Amino acid sequence: MSTFKRIISAALAAALALSLCSCGEKPTRSVDEQGVLHLDLEETEVSYKDSLTDDSADYSQEALEKMKSETHYIEDSDVPALYKYFDGRVRIGVAFGANQITDPEDRNTKGIAKHYNIYSLGNEFKPDCINPAEGVYNFEHADNFVEFGAKAGAYVRGHTLLWHSQIPQWWFKADPADTRSLADCAAADALCTSEVLQERITKYITDVVTRYKDTVQVWDVCNEVLNADGIRRIADDSYWADIMGDIDGDGYYDDYVEVAFRAARAADEDAFLMINDFNMEWQGSKTKAMYDMIERLMRKGVRVDGVGFQSHISVDCDVATYRRNIEKIAGLAEVYDECFPEHKGEFRIQITELDMNMFVGSLAEKSFYKWTDEDFKRQAIKYKELMDMFMEFVDRDLIDAIIFWGTDDENSWLNSTPKLRRNAALLVDRDFSLKPAFYAIAEAAFTKTEE
């Protein structure tokens, strides 16, 4: 890196450090009378991302090939930024914790800002963090997150407005102060009514979507509303459908999804509103249930702009099945165009939580395993195979974002779920060196796709 570039880079990092570290009310933020958060950023802050990559970074395929035989770290400034290989074609993103973006000098924070241009928060944008008790809002982490996103020149995703998990139980109770479990409340006829739940959903979504109207580009309005072939019910740990009921009497219990999308759309006409779920990578019945539900909603006039495939897959994942299920959901683009001609061509799919469990086959029951170069190569081959498949949909204007669920192998939920084990699911190793999977993803930018 040239000396001049080094000085500029240090100055920009210092400017960002000052703004990120200052406590209390930040002069860069204000909330207007409607409740919309506004950011007022300095030019130097928004060029933070560019300052992290040296001009000498070589984006050619030859340079990428050479890098594979060397060791590079996530924050190295002479390494190309991953997202730039795909700039203008698809956004490349990452999910992280609020505690991972507090220090702009931290190597992982730099890696997040440098390599990705769409972000999710792993936990702190969920209702249990934002709205833990009736009338209590905690926007601190979400505000920091959207500000970091703006400074790093990235899109941000609001994950997630409604989910059956990480939702405070008071939402479902007749008396929010009732300390009994939901099961006990249900048995005592002490759950809230359908009308009250509609009001709570509408208030929360209106308040949150309004606040982030200027700063969140994509919302996961609803997360994981389906079981293997239809809407989740109490038996699947979800109280939404049973309390809300089948309001319009059409025989389906997805009315709460409709209420949520209508509230989000009313709060922000231009927001990109998505529904997000898992297992569609392999499960045909769930993929069909998603297609049918979204088609039904669209025909009722509910504009759902996209479907998220979470993509918590394993290294033995069958890419052909996955491709078939994306193709099925891609069929919703036609329904969308028909129902919302003024938004023709805007329906999208996103890969929202991509990671790769390595404990499969003979390793399935293990907890601690020393991953070998061979294991990492095998993982890289699978990631490349997947990326090549995604890129076909990217070039058909159907997939517009691919987001990894975690910054590095240490920061991954797969180390604690379904049990404590030392997984290796992501693109960056525990010492922050780039894994073969990282280069494999970049390599997919050079694969020719056919229309």
Active-site residue, from 75, 178, 224, 255 = 224
432 near 110, Cβ under 8 Å?
no
Segment 134-140 long-range contacts (CB within 8 Å, at least 24 positions apart): 134/170, 134/176, 137/207, 139/37, 139/211
Alpha carbon distance, N-terminus to C-terminus of the chain: 40
- Restricted to residues 275-294, the positions that interact with ligand G3I (CB under 6 A) are 278
Residue numbers 312-351 binding ligand G3I by CB under 6 A: none
Q: DSSP for 285-296?
A: HHHHHHHHHHHH
Instruction: In whole angstroms, give the CA distance from residue 404 to residue 96.
Output: 9
Helix H or strand E segment including 350: strand 348-357
Does residue 71 interact with ligand G3I by CB under 6 A? no
Kindly state whether residue 165 participates in binding ligand G3I, applying the rule CB under 6 A: yes
Does residue 230 contact residue 271 with C-beta atoms inside 8 Å? Answer: no
70 is annotated as an active-site residue = no
State yes or no: residue 99 binds ligand G3I (CB under 6 A). no
Question: Using CB atoms, what's the residue nearest to ligand G3I?
Answer: 413
Q: How many residues does this entry show for the chain?
A: 451
Q: Which position among 353, 408, 409, 443 is part of the footprint of ligand G3I (CB under 6 A)?
A: 353
User: Minimum distance between the CB of residue 283 and ligand G3I, rounded to whole angstroms?
Assistant: 15
Cα 308 from Cα 319, distance rounded (Å) = 17
Active site residue 277: yes
User: Cβ distance 190 to 174 under 8 Å?
Assistant: yes
**For ligand G3I, which is the closer residue by CB, 312 or 384?**
312
Please select the residue that binds ligand G3I; options are 122, 127, 168, 308, rule is CB under 6 A.
122
Kindly state whether residue 369 participates in binding ligand G3I, applying the rule CB under 6 A.
no
Site string for ligand G3I, 384-413 (x = CB under 6 A): -----------------------------x
Q: Does 56 bind ligand G3I (CB under 6 A)?
A: no
Distance CA 267, CA 402 (A): 26
Number of residues that bind ligand G3I (CB under 6 A): 9
CA distance 78 to 98: 27
Query: Would you say 252 or 413 has its CB closer to ligand G3I?
Result: 413
42 is catalytic: no
Under rule CB under 6 A, residue 147 binds ligand G3I: no
Catalytic residues: 224, 277, 353
Binding site for ligand G3I (CB under 6 A): 122-123, 165-166, 223, 278, 310, 353, 413
